[in-house]
Amino acid sequence: MTVESAAPPTAPDAPVRDPAPGLVRRTVGRRGVRYLAVLVGAWLLAEALGLFGVPAPALLAALVLGAVLRMAIGREVTVPAEVSRWTQAFIGVMLGGYLNLEAMRAVGPVLAPFLAISVLTVLLSLVTAWALSRWASGLDQRTATLGLMAGGSSAVVTLCDELGARKDVVGVMQYSRVLLVSLTAPFVMVGLAGGATASSQSWLLDLQIVGRGDQVAGLSTAFVFAMAGMWLGRRLHLPGGGLIGPMLLAAVIGGAELTRGFAPQGAFKELLLIVVGLEVGLMFDRRLLRRLAHLLPAIAAGIVVLCGLVALLAAAAAYLTGVPLSDAYLATTPGGINAVVASAAGSAEADMALIATVQSLRLIIVVLALPLVVAAMNRWSGLRAARGAATTH
């Protein structure tokens, strides 16, 4: 007599357990552990770079480490979405802390020339994209225009489907520009500022996380500003609302002197800059770059030309207004606002009020201009199609 092993009977109405949630938890847990290990590695690398006097060591260490890891192991390490969201919000709070009434009064007289540069930067992006699409085979004008649009990288990428642009090429162009600015801005800042850099060697022992004596109260205030600012940004549909909302809230309440000392400082600020560096570094995919290798020289040329032209405008604005060239460069350079802030944090004399104000306003200008650019390009395409059809008939 043979006895066969059988599974225990299951009630007809018994719920069947889906193993997917457990698998998701294990996957998220593994990725979280990897990300935590990468954060520690970036922190140690930043300490090493700081010992050698490298400017903005937190940003550069995380950026280089993130790029190397992405090229080596692909998508195994990513910045969790919630970490990215709260990092944006706390950087907005930090920027808002610089925008007090005295700082805004100081910025006011020179704001008009820098706003003009912001508008000219958008126009230069369009002209450079047109020339690039004419020069580079395989790169259409729509893709080139969105790829070179200076600012609002995430918003630009989301418009690719609507405009019929190649999302992969636009992403590479946008994030390559951010990478170029992130890598070069700290060194350009040091060169233009005459070597005046903030100390990067003492933050390891600096346990201060906000700018007031009562750390718990200061951190609680920063958390409230971040959470309420993100809600405000979504409610008002602000461009880059996850950063702009907290920045506006912190600027208004802090500028009215209702509270002070809430901006991230010390190790907390360095941690935020490390996350920003990792986000930029982890944007690049080896397989994608290999697939677009034939376009990379043209893309690099267009980005360098655009950044060079904007740098010349910054030099002109510095000459006309008397603003230090280093501040004018960071305020106008067409890179990500987070990377620019991280670079400015490596300087002891950076005018953060000017840099934060001009970069934020340009972000708003770019995002507001994008629908007009899209509508104009769609209309132009329609006219060309109609003209071609009439010629055929």
H helices present in the chain, as ranges: 20-51, 57-73, 81-98, 101-135, 141-148, 153-158, 160-163, 167-192, 215-235, 241-255, 266-281, 286-291, 296-321, 325-332, 337-344, 352-392
Full 3-state SS string of 339-389: HHHHHHCCECCCCHHHHHHHHHHHHHHHHHHHHHHHHHHHHHHHHHHHHHH
Nearest to 328 by CA among 116, 70, 55, 20: 116
The pLDDT of residue 194: 61
Segment-wise mean pLDDT, segments of 10 residues, the chain, 393 residues:
41 49 55 85 86 76 86 78 88 79 75 89 90 85 85 67 77 83 79 56 58 82 92 81 83 77 83 85 79 86 91 92 89 77 67 81 76 74 69 65
Q: Count of CB atoms within 10 A of residue 11's CB?
A: 6
The pLDDT of residue 7: 42
The answer to whether 87 touches 275, Cβ cutoff 8 Å, is yes
Helix (H, G, I), strand (E, B) or coil at 197: strand
pTM of the shown model = 0.69
pLDDT digit string (tens) for 48-103?
A: 887 876 767 887 888 889 888 888 877 667 888 888 889 888 988 887 877 666 76
The pLDDT of residue 240: 66
The pLDDT of residue 153: 67
The pLDDT of residue 305: 92
Label residue 42 exposed, middle or buried (CB < 10 Å: 0-12, 13-18, 19+). buried
Query: What letter represents residue 352's amino acid?
Result: M
Query: Structure tokens of 308?
Result: 């060079």
For residues 272 and 188, give the distance between their C-alpha atoms in angstroms, rounded to a whole number: 22
Query: Structure tokens of 121?
Result: 């930067």
The answer to whether 361 touches 211, Cβ cutoff 8 Å, is no
Owner of token pair 């970036």: 42
The ranges assigned to domains in the chain are 27-78+109-209+264-382
The answer to whether 239 touches 368, Cβ cutoff 8 Å, is yes
For residues 68 and 316, give the distance between their C-alpha atoms in angstroms, rounded to a whole number: 37
DSSP labels, 68-127:
HHHHHHGGGS---HHHHHHHHHHHHHHHHHH--HHHHHHHHHHHHHHHHHHHHHHHHHHH
